[in-house]
Every structure is written in C-alpha cells, then in structure tokens.
Structure 1
Amino acid sequence: MTFHDPAAAVITTRLWRPRRVVITAAARDYPHGRAIAARAESLGLSVEALPGNRLTGLRHPDPRRAYLEAKNTLAVVVAPPTRLKLQPIPPSADWRVDLTEGCPAHCQYCYLAGSLSGPPVTRVYANLDEILGNLAGYVGRGGVTSASAERAHEGTTFEASCYTDPLGIEHLTGSLSAAIRHFGAWDAPVSLRATTKFAAVAPLLALPHGRRTRLRFSINAAAAARYEGGTASLRERLAAMGAVARAGYPVGLTVAPILPVPDWREAYAALFAEAAAALDGVNDLDLTAELITHRFTPGSKAVLEGWYPGSDLPMREDERSRKLTKFGSVKYVFPAEPMREMRQHLTQEIAARLPRARVLYWT
C-alpha cells in the first residue's frame, strides 16, 4: 500500500461491529433513527427495539466487565434538550455540536474517561435534523475563530468530535456525511470540524463538502500506538488523510497525546516525515496542526485504571505539575521545562517538514 492509493485506506481498514445494537422507542420516531437501524441490519447486525427510552443491562459490579459490555454496545437514542444548548470548546472551535456520544476505540488515555457519566456506551442521536437545524442561531457568536483575526476566515466553527470519533461509526450512522452535506450547502461563514483515529473515508470522498469541513487525523509517535486499541493504524490514517485532501477537503493533524516516549525527538520527526509523504502532491492543500500534550485528572485516572488495569501509561502525579482548570478542578500536566522543550522541537519539525501547515495551538 502506498500513500497515494486512496482506495487502500478503505480496503484495508477494519470496521467496528458492535455486539449489541439497541434503539429506543423515541428514536424510532425519527427517520434518521430508523435509517441507522436499517444500516446495522444490512451489515448483519441484530437490532433490539427497546420498549421505552432507558438503556438497561449495562451495569456490572466488575468495572472491567461493565466497560467491555458498554464498549460493545451501540444505542440509537434521542439527544436530550441540553445537547441543543451548545457549549464553547476552546481552543479548537467556537461551539461543540454532538452528533454522537461515545467511541468504539480502546485508548488507554481516553479523553472521555471521567467526562461522561455511566458506562461508555456509544450513543448516536436520531434527531439529527433537529441538531443541525439548531446551529444557525450560533453563527457569529463564538469566541474562538469568530473572534480571532488569524482564524476568522474559518467562520463560526462547530466541533463534532469532542465526545466521539464520528468516522469510527460512520458506516453505521451516516451522521457525519449528513453533517458534511449540511455545511457544504449552508450559505454562511461557517465550518465543521471533526477529528478521527479511523480511516474508512470512502463514503466522504464524493460528498459536496464545499471545503467547509476540516477532517483532522489524530496521529502520534509509533511508540505511543500501543495505547490506542481498536483504531486504524498510523499508515492507514495517513493514507486516509491523503485521500480526503485530494478530494478537496481541508485537513489537519491532531498530534495527541504528546508523550516523551524513548527517543521522542527522532520519533516525532519521523511522524511528520510520514505525514509529509502522505500529502505529497496535493496542490490545494489546506493543512493545520493541533498539538496536545498528555494530561489527566484524579477522576479520569481512577476510571482509566479500572478500564485498563495493566496499562503502563505514565500517570504518576509526582512526575507532573499540578494545575487548576478555569472551573477550579485539578489536572496534572508535564512540568514547564519538558513542555517548553517538546513544544520547541515539535513546532520546528513541523515547520521544516510540513511548511504549509498552520499550527493552531499547543496545549
């Protein structure tokens, strides 16, 4: 497989097949909910029609068992009213828009640990038309791209992957494609953003996106790949990024979570060299980079240790700096000197190997 073969990114990637698919009574009232159920059945999956709107059978006294059962469940539900009251999501975008909640991947540093309540079921929202129709009221009101001279050309930005990986379940939901078509047809200064660790981009390549959706691919040094179970390989992700870039999409690199792995300078230099090879020859390339270091909270650490009891992911508080978030909660980040050194090296390597990339932020 070469980086210049878009089909290879699709043919070789593995699609998630949940062991349990359920749809609530309320979700069956929506055409999109029924379409998701039909998609699952067309793939040979059995769909359980729940008599009500509660998800049951997911609690278990063993946290690992509860985790595995939840992670193997796709639930088609209706987004609650709170999901229609959008929240700002700096530094990525003006607003967070949730098409889904939950993710089929098994990342040992999972960003959702401690953020979502209950078992980590992947919930996809049946009332998609309502969710997308709600966005117009937020245009021009954001505090990130809407208020930034450097990023104002992006318009009002909506982040679709805060609580999910929408591409990882797109073959079952079709929600990301619908959102891309919505933004492509929207005559307003707006753009959609989504990031992924998956590679099944075939359904997206011919969509009328109007260059209003930026697809970012989460990548990391090879030594960190073992922390990302159930995802597409780095090579597949980069090939997929090349495919969507050649289909005219703006693209991005989400380098996360940055870790001082052994020989990290050489490892990240090699990563950016591979990314450059994947994008070689894209004439109308619009490329960004977002650099996100590893951090954790006491709550997320406790959850992750229950989910992945054998993990050697470095989460020792005495090796980190203790910080307070704007909400007053505690998080642990790398000390100032390693942070400074990693930031300087990674931004220099990006400038040298991917000179057309705009680094949006380091955090």
Structure 2
Amino acid sequence: MPLRTGPAERPARLWRPRRVLVMPAALEHAHGRAMLARAEALGLPVERLASNRLTGLRQADPRRAYAEAKATLAIVVAPPTKLKLQPIPPSADWRFDLAEGCPAHCQYCYLAGSLSGPPVTRVYANLDAVLDNLAGYAGRGAVTSAQEARAHEGTTFEASCYTDPLGIEHLTGSLSAAIRHFSAWQAPVGLRFTTKFAAVEPLLNLAHGRRTRIRFSVNARGAARYEGGTAPLDQRLRAMRAVALAGYPVGLTVAPILPIPDWQAAYAALIREAAEALAGVPDLDLTAELITHRFTPGSKEILQGWYPGSDLPLDEAERTRKFTKFGSVKYVLPKDLMAEMRASLHAALARDLPMARVLYWT
C-alpha cells in the first residue's frame, strides 16, 4: 500500500501553546532568552513570572486542569536532579532531559503517573549545563556500552523519555543544539530520541555525523484514534524517509502494540508501509523497537480522568499482573497473546524490512 496522498502532504502542523510562562531564572541563560524570543516572534502570549515557581495550575476539575496544562509552555531551569542521569534500559545507557512534558494527547500516555502535577510542558533554559554534564557519563553504562551486539553505538543517551523533543523543537531549538553537540563530541557516543511528529526540516541540514538516531513512534492505523495531537502516520513515514536520506540512522518504535481488531493484518500493513517509505534509501541504518501496551493502577486512574470517553483497553481482567523491579504493579498483555504478537511482528519485519536490527521486545 503506497503512502496516502492529499492532506497528509501538507506541511507538518506545529504546536502553538496558548500560554507561555517564563521564570526569571530562565532569562539568566542565553538559551532561555532565545526561547523567549522564539515565542514572541510567533506572537504567543507570554507571561513573565515574578518568581521561580509555577503556581495556580491545579484545578478542582481534572479535565480543566489537564486542558490548561496541555496548552501551557513553561521556560524554566532544569533542577540539579536532572544532572544526575539514570540508566534507561533497554533503550540506552543513560537518560537526559531537554524538557519535561509533551504537547500530544495520546490516550495511553506513559507519562501519566510519572510526572507530578498538571502536565505542563517545561523546557530547560540551562541547556549548556545539561549538555556539558553528559561528558561525565561517557564510557559508562550497561546497555550499549556492555552489550556486544550494540557496542558499536558507543555510550548512548536517550533524550525522549519525558518529552517529544521534535514536537517542541520550533519553540526551543534544543534538539538541534543537542545534535550538533553529539556530532562534535570526540568520543564514541550516540544521541537517541523518539517522536510522533514530523517537522524534521530544521534537522535536515545539520552536521550530525551519523551520531543521532531518529526513531519514529508508529502504530497500526486502527490505533490512530488514541494518538491525538500527533502527526498522521503518513507524515511520520515521510519524515523518516527525509531524515534517512539526510544520512541519519533511523528507527521504528512500534508502540504501544495493542490487541486491536485484526491486529495481525494491521501491524503487518504498518511494517509494509514503513518498508515502502524507506525503499531506495542508500546506506540505510535501521533499527526496530517493539513495545507492548501496559499500564499501572495509577496511570489508569489518571488517563481515565483525562480521557473519560476513551475505549482504550484497560481492563485488568484481560491482562497479566506483574511487579516491576521497584515492587509496583503493572498490567501487561497475557503471555500467550504476547508470544503470538512477538512472532507475528518479527515475521513481518523479517519479510519486509530484513535490514532492520530488532533491538528488543518488551
């Protein structure tokens, strides 16, 4: 099936927050001032805060609190805790954050329950400190640094755990700065990020040195209704082709894999479309990461408050109860279904994208 034509070929739609809050401390940093200038140039309503605190964001009505927070961008300073990196298996050696929060409205959002307070998108003004801090972690780690199959990636740093950096790049410029930083870094290191957006134009002419792997989070078309505010699948696939042609290593993050009706055919079709999008790309460096849907009691409660009309499958009776390494409860797909899905997706990749290195299934 070829990529669909028509409206999907229009330029990628960019998020325009209805409110931009700026902490005084953020303006002490050149990058903070640059982000403020971007917001003002776009004509966004800017409020300069009197203190370095975000207040007045909580509402008695959770739906209203969610809606207002999701429409808010806050230019802040990353706290010291953000400079103490945490390992992020199975994706990468280390996680670092350019921002926290995401403008998308995914009904399965894995950040629900992970972030405290209303889901405001916070972008970090002290970018130089965030990037300079990474040097102390090079040569360390337990994922790519310790696995023979991935050692050629060097020490890897994941930038999309708590945000989608491409979805806010037109407002921050932080992702471009990180790509340039890794390209110039004289060490075996790699930057990784995943996105559900498609506005890749600012990245195409950057000096990246093939040190940045851009992964596109994709799902079967039957799951599109769960991914509000994101770029349509066709735009994501075209963007993946564009960055691959620009020399970037790329990846498919198939997530979250859901037991939608006729899921076998739906996910097989997704893999075929990705193959068609990448056809003819020279020196293609492609990975695949396969992530099944799971939820916790806390995330379920939050998501049902945010999206009360959603039909996202969150019935504990249809899941297997498991414990995380921290002792908390999560609900995953049943073992037999998990095995069937794994075999089906691996077969589709082997058939249509045999050059893809499957990094993990989880």
Amino acid in the other structure paired with 2:265: E
1:130-141 matched pairs, under 5 angstroms: 130-141=129-140
Q: Residues 54-112 of structure 1: CA distance to partner in whole angstroms, max 9, x if unpaired?
A: 11221100000000000000000000000000000000000001000000000000010
Counterpart of 1:184? 183
- Indicate whether 1:28 and 2:27 are aligned: yes
1:12 positional shift: 2.3
1:84-233 matched pairs, under 5 angstroms: 84-233=83-232
Secondary structure of the equivalent of 2:339? helix
CA–CA separation in structure 1 for the residues paired with 2:84 and 2:34: 25
Structure 1 residues 255 and 41, CA gap change in structure 2 (3 angstroms): same
Counterpart of 1:289? 288
CA–CA separation in structure 2 for the residues paired with 1:314 and 1:188: 44
CA–CA separation in structure 1 for the residues paired with 2:200 and 2:19: 24
1:20 positional shift: 0.2
CA–CA separation in structure 1 for the residues paired with 2:4 and 2:223: 25
Structure 1 residues 270 and 3, CA gap change in structure 2 (3 angstroms): closer
Identity of aligned residues (%): 76
1:201-280 matched pairs, under 5 angstroms: 201-280=200-279
Q: Residues 18-52 of structure 1: CA distance to partner in whole angstroms, max 9, x if unpaired?
A: 00001101001000001001001111112211111
Secondary structure of the equivalent of 1:302? helix
TM normalised by structure 2 equals 0.98
CA contact (8 A) 1:9 1:239 kept: no
Counterpart of 1:341? 340
CA–CA separation in structure 2 for the residues paired with 1:117 and 1:136: 29
CA contact (8 A) 2:4 2:234 kept: no
1:156 positional shift: 0.2
Amino acid in the other structure paired with 1:268: Y
CA contact (8 A) 1:165 1:196 kept: yes
Secondary structure of the equivalent of 1:313? coil
Secondary structure of the equivalent of 1:288? strand
Q: Residues 105-141 of structure 1: CA distance to partner in whole angstroms, max 9, x if unpaired?
A: 0000001000000000000000000000000000111
CA contact (8 A) 1:4 1:278 kept: no
Q: Residues 287-342 of structure 1: CA distance to partner in whole angstroms, max 9, x if unpaired?
A: 00000000000000010011001111000001000000000000000110000000
CA–CA separation in structure 2 for the residues paired with 1:301 and 1:9: 32
- Indicate whether 1:66 and 2:74 are aligned: no
Identify which range, 260-269 or 339-348, moves more after superposition: 260-269
Counterpart of 2:326? 327
Structure 1 residues 249 and 271, CA gap change in structure 2 (3 angstroms): same
Structure 2, unmatched stretches of 5+, are: none
1:10 positional shift: 8.2
1:4 positional shift: 12
TM normalised by structure 1 equals 0.97
1:9 positional shift: 7.8
Amino acid in the other structure paired with 2:118: P
CA–CA separation in structure 1 for the residues paired with 2:191 and 2:8: 23
CA–CA separation in structure 2 for the residues paired with 1:195 and 1:89: 14
Q: Residues 240-277 of structure 1: CA distance to partner in whole angstroms, max 9, x if unpaired?
A: 00000000000000000001111111111110111011
Secondary structure of the equivalent of 2:68? helix
- Indicate whether 1:359 and 2:336 are aligned: no
Amino acid in the other structure paired with 1:68: A
Amino acid in the other structure paired with 2:327: G
Secondary structure of the equivalent of 1:142? coil
Structure 1 residues 101 and 15, CA gap change in structure 2 (3 angstroms): same
CA–CA separation in structure 2 for the residues paired with 1:3 and 1:219: 14
CA–CA separation in structure 2 for the residues paired with 1:310 and 1:180: 39
CA contact (8 A) 1:9 1:240 kept: no
CA contact (8 A) 1:10 1:200 kept: no
Structure 1 residues 348 and 216, CA gap change in structure 2 (3 angstroms): same
CA–CA separation in structure 1 for the residues paired with 2:213 and 2:109: 22
CA contact (8 A) 2:76 2:124 kept: yes
Q: Which runs of at least 4 in structure 1 moved beyond 4 Å after TM superposition?
A: 2-5, 8-11
CA–CA separation in structure 1 for the residues paired with 2:286 and 2:58: 43
CA–CA separation in structure 2 for the residues paired with 1:104 and 1:4: 25
